[in-house]
Structure 1
């Protein structure tokens, strides 16, 4: 693998770490709204978490995604960029050819498929840690020896091992189908708007977008992607949170039907506001971290190899 290809993976790692630091508190609120009960609305959820768990409650489960989502983002951006170059070579005869809309869509789809293999266990552990102190009013504690409201897992490693021991590989990849249905179209609606807006707001004559263009385009892309992905994100969150205290859902379709029957159509849009709001700063941080670190590495490579 060439240094140029490796730089994409390294820059993706930086972008992923930046996005976790910025977005985790709102991600916790989003997960509680989607998979928990009794919050009512976003503000009530924020106040309840703060009142019961203080500021630390918003950062619950952050250590694992900080370490793992950086790797996850590294794979996503690395695969996306290298797929674009491969498509440039195959379709246009030049790896540096400016990608067309079809190129971006195909590269986004490939990145979405590959990312799910890494992202499903990461999201499952994160959500289990975020949800384990949530009180389940409908929980039948006879189903599990654990009492709702008290921690089940001591940390990310313990959570991963516990799920693996009790539920096997299938448990670790619980919600994978829903995540696939969320991420493949989600990444298309992530990279395509970013590419479009970045090109649109970058002044004519500029070789590469400036930080302001990257920040704005990344934020808009994130808001669009996360906003439209909310219905399937709700299903994924519920499937992955399921099993902390009891098992309610048999699969994607059962989760959709039960959620609809119990809470109506509006349940699939629960958290859409916090998803869209959270999508802007996290994606801005992601793309800024990626583009600026990539630019720095390329500049350093040029200086050391004149």
Structure 2
């Protein structure tokens, strides 16, 4: 494997371990009241607050959610949550980052630029967008599973969510919401690399010491994270709401079907199990909560983005230097 594959893989894994607790908060704020139904939680402000009474809830969808346990063993379980089910998300986001950086670097080379010192920021943006599109095969199912796990109030793990989707809808179900996810990733990663390279070129100096270079990498990486999320946050809100719509549950299917039959007998319409399109989700969110709903959670997301991407770029640059 190439140096940029392993550098991207390890930096992605590091980002998951650091940033997932804040990502849970962001996802629940974005999902709003629309994320209600079987296995889903009330994610209004009060609902979010009530579900963060212990550390274990902060790792849902990243490090697997803890199974239900009694008050007597909560403290012990909270101490052990770091090692519970971490394999799947680390593999997923590590692979995503590896694909991203390989595609970005190869795209720059095809456009005639040196990937280590790119000069044309427009070509940097286009290469980043190409990298974002390439991650679709990993990003779409990973985002779907992560978001559903993070807003779930049941004991469902990422693996049980995958099994349920696979059993009901097959491969196609794992890519639900993939269209809006791919657009978000293309635009976001375009600005991601554009802002990182632009700030690095503006701030770097040939006279920088190793310490100064490391600090500037951290600052440029953190800035790139904030710019990226600010550019795509409304798209991310819509994506989250699309992927966390009301879902069927094997435990409640019979009751839902009975309710549907009863409503039909009385001449009433029913939306049980109905999934809205991306456009309708956006329209419904605007009509219900106004324009600011598309920026709900941006503050916590910006904080997370700065920390995670500062670390990711530092790990990536360090690994590239080490492997090359």
TM-score (norm 1): 0.81
Shift of 1:242: 1.7
Measured after TM superposition, the shift of residue 250 of structure 1 is 2.2
For the pair 1:86 / 2:88, whether they are aligned, the reply is no
- The CA deviation at 1:238 is 0.9
Aligned position for 2:162: 160
> Aligned match of 1:223 in 194, 202, 226?
226
User: Which residue of structure 1 aligns with residue 238 of structure 2?
Assistant: 235
Unaligned runs of 5+ in 2: 34-41, 63-85, 249-271
TM-score (structure 2 length as normaliser): 0.76
Cα offsets for 1:223-260 (capped at 9, x unmatched): 11112211010111111112445645322111111111
Go from structure 1 to structure 2 and tell me whether the alpha carbon gap of 1:267 and 1:215 turns closer, same or farther (over 3 Å shift): same
CA distance in 1, matches of 2:118, 2:196: 14
Residue 105 of structure 2 contacts residue 115 of structure 2 at CA under 8 Å; is this kept in 1?
no
1:178–1:200 distance in 2 versus 1, CA, 3 Å: same
Moved more, 229-238 or 78-87: 78-87
* Residue in structure 2 matching 1:66, options 90, 93, 99: 90
| Matched-pair contact (CA < 8 Å) for 1:101–1:192 | yes
Could you tell me how far 1:61 is from its partner in structure 2?
2.0
Q: Structure 1, unaligned stretches of length 5 or more?
A: 134-149, 299-306
Q: Measured at CA, do residues 45 and 11 of structure 1 come closer, stay the same or move farther in structure 2, by a change above 3 Å?
A: farther
**1:205 CA displacement:** 4.3
SS of 2:201's partner is: helix
Structure 1 residues 248 and 274, CA gap change in structure 2 (3 angstroms): farther
Q: Residue 87 of structure 1 contacts residue 95 of structure 1 at CA under 8 Å; is this kept in 2?
A: no
Offset of residue 297 of structure 1: 0.8
Q: Where does 1:48-197 land on structure 2 (aligned, <5 Å)?
A: 48-51=50-53, 54-62=54-62, 63=86, 64-88=88-112, 98-133=118-153, 150-151=154-155, 153=156, 155-197=157-199
The 2-side partners of 1:286 and 1:193 are apart by: 15
- SS of alignment partner, residue 210 of structure 1: helix
Paired with 2:243 and 2:302, the residues of 1 have a C-alpha distance of 21
Q: CA deviation at 1:106?
A: 1.8
In structure 2, distance between residues paired with 1:46 and 1:292: 37
Question: 1:13 aligned to 2:33?
Answer: no
Spell out, residue by residue over 1:190-235, the C-alpha distance to the aligned partner (whole angstroms, 9 max, x if none).
Answer: 1101001111121234599821111000000101111221101011
Counterpart Cα distance in 2 of 1:100 and 1:272: 30
Residue 30 of structure 1 is matched in structure 2 by: 26
Contact 1:79 1:110 in 2 (8 A): yes
Distance, in Å, in 2 between the alignment partners of 1:10 and 1:187 is: 19
CA shift in 2, pair 1:45/1:196, >3 Å: farther
Aligned residue pairs: how many?
A: 268
Partners in 1 of 2:47 and 2:15 — Cα distance?
A: 22
